Structure 1
């Protein structure tokens, strides 16, 4: 690999670490500075580096910015209406006390099959918060389990766009990829839960104060530090003043008390997810029937699928979810000013997440445009390794270099497509290797890193221990599965 490009990558990463850990500047500034430093060392013209930052920032926010804003707004209405709390009661009650991390990890894995991690995490995070609030502990454990459960199927199971594209590039049977990807996900989920339950409690004290207050509220002040044994109370033992729907105020005289059941409370979450699922599944089926899977330019959607694609677009689906939340979950006496105030609060909380997410996209674009990802891929392809590890490691190194798991697996598939027969691999094994390799070490240049860590309230070393650690743990756990797939498939 070109020494100059390697130096650009190493120094760029070091710049982020130094600024985040040892200065008074925040991650948004660190990412922008690192992007400029990386581009300069890689030999990119200064104006081209700025253009890459702007392009990456815009492209990232164009795909996820509106979704984050709408998702946070839905979460706020779920919170103030008491719907998230009702769902938490039903969720934990159905699975039994002590299995909450399994519940969140498994639910995240299911939701993320058709939904991008960023969107799914924003939609489901209020449930993790509400469960933690009820238990008076364990938010980091639940948040990590939820986030990494989503990572598994997002990287391994079509019709998630990344694995779908890889299957198309390598000519793998889509049904086989779905089946084996699900098997991989089920086998790796215990690693997610084990890591979250071991490391999560150690990071509870590292949660940012504003997030801690948002999660635990008055319960945190009155019941002791979250995570202590004395704080694990039954779900029906919360005092009235901790009612999450207290923000609605006192109902007018003669009006019945406001109560939201789990069924109604689920609608603003379930309806958008079902619409997005319908979009991805219908599109994948029709592409497959036309024989253009992985070739968007040759695809001609029918009128029916076009209609589903419209309502199933994450922006439209979440907009529908927000409208449902406001008109189904809130009582009739809620005023327009109240709703506007809650939505303004949601927008304020989403602002920093959006800036950091966009800056991460800018850094990733600089790394792509500077040629670092391609250079890493070419270097690893020249090594003497077991055949199935070639696409696996290419995807891993490209992921570290530029942050996007989808880009990493597609890059690995593109590089190894001409090599599959020479490596003695089946298209299915090569596909799974590309997808599994792209899960490694989510960190500063990954937009999902910032979504998870900001919502979880982890910063600096705590963010690396929690999120980067758990994604690396499942990556390590996937290595023997990939080797078996290369041997068996």
Structure 2
């Protein structure tokens, strides 16, 4: 391998670590400086480095920036209207105490099959916050379970773009990959739960105070705001206090409904403002359903037109063209925020008060958007300098057990440039000429590419910044929480691959 490119990767990562942990500069500046260091050490011309940074920043925010802003705005309206609390109380009653993190992981896994995990996490995070507020703790556990549940199906199950492209490149049966990917995801969910349950309570005390205040809103949670599942949600590490479903049945709610003074002066004789579960769920469910319908109709339309490869040019027609518009995450979330404002807030709420809440949401989303874009900029520099391709070619030349070749190529490319989708597609492209030589079936090679791409999500992955900023984790806490849980499911997928190699 080219030593210069390896040095560029190492120094780029070191720049982020040193700046974030040892200086007064924040992650946004650290990521941009790391992109410059990486590009210069790799030998790229100065002009090309700047182009890579601006291109990566722009491309990342083109896909997720508006979604983050709208998602945070919906979350704010859910919070101030009392809708988020209504959703949380229903979930807690339905699931019973101590099982909320299973629901978050399962919900995340289902949502992320048709919906990009970035968008899905932004949409579903308010629910995790509300459940944490309702049970008085365990927010980090719930947030990690939700985020990694989404990671599993995003990386393993078509029709997400990465696995779909891998199937096309390797010639793997798409139906077989869907079934095998679902089986892997189901078997890996317990790993998500175990890691989130173990690490979450340890990190509760590390949550950014501003995020803690936004999540718990004055609800007493104990020193660590954590409750261990083993204790049934009634106490845990650091003296946290938990409340399960039984505590809510017939008991006093943890928070009162939004006071009239917060929503505006009610007309004389008006009924107290209260949002039910059905109405509260619409600003979340409608955008998700529109995005899902877009995915389904596009798949049917592609099949009708005979455009089966995700890399081939495709123009939606008829109803699929309509759904491509309204089911785009940006449009779907615009519909969601309109529903939130006009269905969840009473008519007497002053316009300037609503504008104030939306402004608060925009302010809180701003730093998340900037850091996410900077993560995309670093990833683009790593791609343009050829670090990922260099690692892939080096691994392909080693003498390894056949199933490990595509698995390790995807893993190293993921670490090198951050994008799981790029990692699995690169691994499939490099492995495709080797599949017959290695004696691998196309399906097993596809599974190996997809599983390998889950490893160690960190600074150069835009989803890392989405999850950790919404969760309120920084520095080593972010690495222990999010990088750790993604590496845990990656490691657990390896024995599954070895078992699968006996049958596929």
Normalising TM by the smaller chain, what interval?
A: over 0.9
- TM-score norm. by structure 1 comes to 0.97
Aligned-pair distance for 1:166?
Answer: 1.2
Aligned-pair distance for 1:294?
Answer: 2.5
Q: What is the distance in 2 between the residues matched to 1:250 and 1:69?
A: 28
Q: What is the distance in 2 between the residues matched to 1:251 and 1:136?
A: 30
**Partner residue of 2:178?**
178
Q: What is the distance in 2 between the residues matched to 1:289 and 1:13?
A: 46
- Flag the 1:123–1:50 CA change in 2: closer, same or farther, 3 A: same
Are residues 1:235 and 2:234 paired?
no
**Partner residue of 1:213?**
213
**Partner residue of 1:430?**
445
**Partner residue of 1:347?**
362
Q: What is the distance in 2 between the residues matched to 1:158 and 1:456?
A: 27
Q: What is the distance in 2 between the residues matched to 1:95 and 1:166?
A: 37
User: How big is each residue's C-alpha offset from its partner over 1:60-82, in whole Å with a ceiling of 9 and x where there is no partner?
Assistant: 00011011111111111111111
Q: What is the distance in 2 between the residues matched to 1:51 and 1:307?
A: 35
Aligned-pair distance for 1:289?
Answer: 3.9
CA contact (8 A) 1:85 1:244 kept: no
**SS at structure 2 position matched to 1:158:** coil
- CA-atom RMSD in angstroms: 1.6
Aligned pairs, number:
488
- Flag the 1:113–1:239 CA change in 2: closer, same or farther, 3 A: closer
**Partner residue of 2:399?**
384
Are residues 1:257 and 2:275 paired?
no
Q: What is the distance in 2 between the residues matched to 1:25 and 1:13?
A: 16
**Partner residue of 1:448?**
463
Aligned-pair distance for 1:94?
Answer: 1.1
**SS at structure 1 position matched to 2:7:** helix
**Partner residue of 2:338?**
323
**Partner residue of 1:158?**
158
CA contact (8 A) 1:82 1:245 kept: no
User: How big is each residue's C-alpha offset from its partner over 1:181-219, in whole Å with a ceiling of 9 and x where there is no partner?
Assistant: 111000000000000001100001000110111111111
CA contact (8 A) 1:225 1:231 kept: no
**SS at structure 1 position matched to 2:219:** helix
Are residues 1:474 and 2:486 paired?
no
Structure 1 segments unaligned to the other structure (5+ residues): none
- TM-score norm. by structure 2 comes to 0.94
CA contact (8 A) 2:375 2:462 kept: yes
- Flag the 1:224–1:22 CA change in 2: closer, same or farther, 3 A: closer
- Flag the 1:238–1:29 CA change in 2: closer, same or farther, 3 A: farther
Q: What is the distance in 2 between the residues matched to 1:469 and 1:19?
A: 21
- Flag the 1:225–1:421 CA change in 2: closer, same or farther, 3 A: closer
**Partner residue of 1:194?**
194
Q: What is the distance in 1 between the residues matched to 2:379 and 2:313?
A: 28
CA contact (8 A) 1:218 1:242 kept: no
Are residues 1:10 and 2:20 paired?
no
Aligned-pair distance for 1:412?
Answer: 0.9
Structure 2 segments unaligned to the other structure (5+ residues): 228-234
Give the counterpart of 1:362 among 365, 377, 380.
377
CA contact (8 A) 1:188 1:478 kept: yes
**Partner residue of 1:460?**
475
Q: What is the distance in 2 between the residues matched to 1:408 and 1:483?
A: 20
**Partner residue of 1:144?**
144
Q: What is the distance in 2 between the residues matched to 1:267 and 1:239?
A: 22
CA contact (8 A) 2:69 2:365 kept: yes
Are residues 1:51 and 2:51 paired?
yes
CA contact (8 A) 1:53 1:362 kept: yes
CA contact (8 A) 2:407 2:451 kept: yes
Are residues 1:122 and 2:122 paired?
yes
Are residues 1:400 and 2:415 paired?
yes
Are residues 1:99 and 2:81 paired?
no
